């Protein structure tokens, strides 16, 4: 059952669940309420979309439901784990008497005054929260704009992916063994791809093996291992944008919208003569791609060409900023953001782009983009990166030092004299250097 609540002065919609032993919030909403300081937590949750989920940490605050304000201990979980803003558990509810009925939730305070809190109105056809948009007229226009979006392809880039190999010796690998549940997953995906025209049956001399990779939510993703084919492929040198330059363009923005494309690479066609190279084998057949698959070494380059062509006019005007399939629309205010978003969605529709609306963000003052938090012209590292550094164990090998430096290198622009601080660790990576994690190395590790 959903209720309207206030947390840290921000109005939110929460789900009340008496089966949950704890009150939890997703990371996106945690950032939205101002990122209060977190206390470390070793608590692991179960039953939330996957087997077990580690708490990022917890903070203490008060939750207000109309006139009733009660203290709460709130755990933070990653966004992909918790598909809603806040979950109010029995730990919060048991602080007062309450009952559920068809009209909402009835709470009883200590002086026996009863309060009825009606179930929040949840728009079924709007899979996102727009309550943060302050202007109600803009909020209504935004909701209408998003809900009316449909791909209506009237334009084409004419771009197709051509694979050029160094030789004509076929790459052919056997199918890998799969369990029965894995075979079922493969059959479902193959059927779906065939129905959408993404793949077709093949009799190519080339064939790469299929692999199943586990996603963050625990589900399986079907991928193709094109590593051997990639070693023979002549590389497309189309430049990808520099992340630093992309971020520099966001400093003047006050509000941001981000667009998430559904199956981004599949928007680009394969050249007919190159389809045979994409062939792959499963436990019961051989197929090849009509659309550009993930895993080919040149897939990112051709997709960057494609998306740059689609939004070329808006890129020139500074309306939109793009890094691969990460699309962001900065604006100086909500009205400006609405106008810019309207132009972007119109262009996306004309080129038949399919969007994953549940993963899009609209007119937010704080967002996560390319692993950074963007707010009021300031850029800071995202929480998952900082938590990963904080939880990194003391290195016991050169490989672990490499991993740690790779992770902390992400923060180079935020750490004064980073190279000097990290030098005792980077010295361990030199050839013919004995691994010794002494006081200097430990000091550098702790500083970073």
Domain span including residue 420:
383-447
Q: Are 145 and 338 in contact (CB under 8 A)?
A: yes
pLDDT score of 122 more than 60: no
pLDDT of residue 51: 57
Here the CATH number for the domain that contains residue 102 is: 2.40.70.10
Using the 3D structure, point to which of 354, 379, 404 is the last residue of a domain: 379
pLDDT in tens, 208-262: 999 888 776 667 788 899 999 999 999 998 887 777 778 878 878 899 999 988 8
pLDDT score of 311 more than 70: yes
Compare 84 and 349 and report the one with higher pLDDT: 349
Are 342 and 436 in the same domain?
A: no
Q: How far apart are CA 339 and CA 334, in angstroms?
A: 9
Look at residue 203 and tell me if it is in a domain.
no
Are 258 and 363 in the same domain?
A: yes
pLDDT in tens, 382-394: 777 777 788 888 8
Are 254 and 363 in the same domain?
A: yes
Are 318 and 431 in the same domain?
A: no
Using the 3D structure, point to which of 86, 118, 150 is the last residue of a domain: 118
pLDDT score of 337 more than 90: yes
Using the 3D structure, point to which of 70, 96, 118 is the last residue of a domain: 118
**Among 361, 357, 362, 360, CA closest to 125:** 357
Here the CATH number for the domain that contains residue 248 is: 3.30.70.270
Whose structure tokens read 């690479």? 265
Are 320 and 436 in the same domain?
A: no
pLDDT of residue 123: 33
- Count of domains in the chain? 3
Look at residue 12 and tell me if it is in a domain.
yes
Are 255 and 332 in the same domain?
A: yes
Q: Are 305 and 290 in contact (CB under 8 A)?
A: no
- How buried is 75 (Cβ within 10 angstroms: 0-12 exposed, 13-18 middle, 19+ buried)? buried
Look at residue 360 and tell me if it is in a domain.
yes
Total Cβ atoms within 10 A of residue 409: 14
Q: How far apart are CA 293 and CA 144, in angstroms?
A: 33
Helix (H) or strand (E) holding 80: none
- % of residues, the chain, pLDDT over 70: 89
Written as six digits, the tokens of 279 are 């062939």
pLDDT of residue 121: 37
Are 315 and 429 in the same domain?
A: no
- Rounded mean pLDDT, 98-105: 55
Q: What is the DSSP string of 46-78?
A: ESSSSSEEE--EEEEEEEEETTEEEEEEEEEE-
Q: Are 74 and 25 in contact (CB under 8 A)?
A: yes
Look at residue 190 and tell me if it is in a domain.
no
Look at residue 440 and tell me if it is in a domain.
yes
Are 417 and 339 in the same domain?
A: no
Phi, psi of 233 (to 5 degrees): -90, 135
Are 356 and 370 in the same domain?
A: yes
Are 23 and 106 in the same domain?
A: yes
Written as six digits, the tokens of 446 are 């702790």
């Amino acid at each position: 059952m959903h209720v309207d609540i206030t947390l840290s002065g921000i109005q939110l919609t929460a789900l009340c669940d008496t089966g949950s032993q704890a009150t939890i919030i997703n990371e996106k909403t945690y950032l939205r309420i101002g990122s209060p300081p977190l206390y470390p937590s070793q608590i692991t949750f179960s039953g939330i979309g996957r087997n077990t989920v580690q708490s990022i940490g917890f903070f203490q605050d008060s939750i207000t439901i109309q006139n009733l304000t009660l203290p709460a201990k709130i755990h933070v979980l990653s966004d992909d784990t918790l598909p809603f803003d806040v979950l109010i558990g029995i730990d919060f509810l048991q602080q007062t008497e309450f009952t559920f009925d068809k009209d909402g939730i009835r709470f009883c305070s200590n002086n026996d005054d009863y309060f009825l809190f009606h179930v929040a109105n949840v728009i079924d056809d709007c899979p996102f929260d727009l309550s943060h948009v302050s202007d109600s007229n803009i909020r209504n226009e935004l909701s209408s704009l998003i809900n009316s979006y449909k791909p209506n392809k009237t334009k084409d880039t004419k771009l197709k992916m051509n694979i050029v190999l160094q030789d004509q010796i076929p790459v052919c690998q056997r199918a890998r063994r799969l369990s029965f549940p894995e075979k079922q997953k493969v059959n479902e995906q193959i059927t779906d791809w065939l129905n959408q025209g993404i793949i077709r049956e093949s009799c190519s001399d080339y064939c790469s093996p299929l692999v199943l990779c586990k996603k963050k939510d625990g589900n399986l993703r079907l991928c193709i291992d094109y590593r051997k084919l990639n070693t023979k492929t002549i590389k497309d040198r189309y430049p990808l944008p520099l992340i630093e330059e992309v971020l520099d363009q966001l400093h003047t923005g006050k509000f941001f919208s981000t667009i998430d494309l559904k199956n981004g690479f599949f928007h680009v066609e394969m050249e007919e003569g190159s389809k045979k190279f994409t062939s792959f084998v499963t436990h019961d057949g051989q197929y090849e791609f009509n659309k550009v698959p993930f895993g080919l070494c040149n897939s990112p380059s051709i997709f960057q060409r494609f998306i740059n062509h689609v939004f070329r006019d808006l890129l020139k005007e500074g309306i939109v900023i793009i890094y691969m399939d990460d699309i962001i629309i900065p604006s100086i205010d909500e009205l400006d953001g609405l106008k810019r978003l309207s132009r972007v969605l119109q262009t996306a529709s004309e080129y038949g782009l399919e969007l994953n609306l549940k993963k899009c963000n609209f007119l937010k003052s704080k967002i996560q983009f390319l692993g950074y938090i963007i707010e009021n012209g300031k850029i800071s590292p995202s929480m998952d990166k900082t938590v990963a550094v904080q939880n990194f164990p003391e290195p016991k090998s050169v490989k672990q030092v490499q991993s740690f430096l790779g992770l902390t290198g992400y923060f180079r622009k935020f750490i004064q004299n980073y190279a000097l601080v990290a030098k005792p660790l980077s010295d361990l990576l030199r050839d013919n250097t004995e691994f010794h994690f002494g006081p200097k190395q430990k000091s550098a590790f702790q500083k970073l």
